[in-house]
Amino acid sequence: MKKDPGYFKKNFANFLAQLDEESYEMHYAKKSQLFAEVEGKVLEIGPGTGVNFPFLTGKEVTWTGLEPNAAMHPFLFKAAQENGLEARLLDCTTEAICLPDDEVDYVISSEVLCSVSDLEKSLAEIRRVLKPNGKFLFLEHVVDKHNIWRRLVQKAVPYTPWKFYSDGCHPARDIGNAIRQAGFSDVSYVDYMQEGRGIILMINRPHIYGWAIK
């Protein structure tokens, strides 16, 4: 039997579930473009409540996910069913993906790489499980290199109760640069300042979205 995920993990799952619709609308334009090409074997890291399923509906995909927070699972399976997808979860994390080398056509992620415990290891694992020429498609919030005030807050919040309420999110990561350094043959992404209101978005922006080819 799975162990109880605990108060903060449950709280985070319920919180994300409440934001599903807002997140869908906020990222609709970028995600529709980003995930348009997805087909074949797809591994999604950190799918959360399944907020990316609507972008995969009707596609020829075999979806597998890595979602260590068990409190997300009921939301995720419900969303998969509503979007006509069959969801299979693996019992491992991005730092040590329990799949053989060269296994999947796509790895996809949205707003996950801020939370992994080891970014470099996670990117190496993503690259390892992709087939040759396979693609990693990502949409992530990243460190603000221009606004020093936001960057200071981004660096400080992981040392506050944010750590517990946001499930270990580190907003000051230079994720774009880390992807460029991770040994992919080609990387391309767009930086943008996500519009919207609210304290979380004030901290968790700008964003990048794009792809990395193995």
Ligand X SMILES: C[S@@+](CC[C@H](N)C(=O)[O-])C[C@H]1O[C@@H](n2cnc3c(N)ncnc32)[C@H](O)[C@@H]1O
Name the site residues for ligand X (rule: CB under 6 A): 16, 23, 45-48, 51, 66-69, 72, 93-95, 110-112, 115-117, 167
**Distance between CA atoms of 20 and 91, rounded to whole angstroms?**
24
Minimum Å gap between C-beta 48 and ligand X is: 3
Q: Which residue lies nearer to ligand X by CB, 21 or 186?
A: 21
Is residue 86 exposed (0-12), middle (13-18) or buried (19+ Cβ within 10 Å)?
A: exposed
Minimum Å gap between C-beta 110 and ligand X is: 4
Longest dimension (CA), the chain: 47
Minimum Å gap between C-beta 104 and ligand X is: 15
Estimate the crossing angle of helix 7-34 against helix 73-82, to 10 degrees: 30
Q: Which residue lies nearer to ligand X by CB, 24 or 131?
A: 24
**Distance between CA atoms of 178 and 53, rounded to whole angstroms?**
26
Contact in structure between 175 and 119 (CB atoms under 8 Å): yes
Contact in structure between 207 and 140 (CB atoms under 8 Å): yes
Q: Which residue lies nearer to ligand X by CB, 75 or 132?
A: 75
Minimum Å gap between C-beta 89 and ligand X is: 11
Q: Which residue lies nearer to ligand X by CB, 4 or 186?
A: 4
**Nearest CA to 64 among 51, 80, 83?**
80
**Nearest CA to 146 among 210, 205, 188?**
205
Instruction: State how far Cα 126 lies from the chain centre.
Output: 12
Minimum Å gap between C-beta 210 and ligand X is: 16
Q: Which residue lies nearer to ligand X by CB, 45 or 203?
A: 45
Q: Which residue lies nearer to ligand X by CB, 146 or 167?
A: 167
Minimum Å gap between C-beta 147 and ligand X is: 21
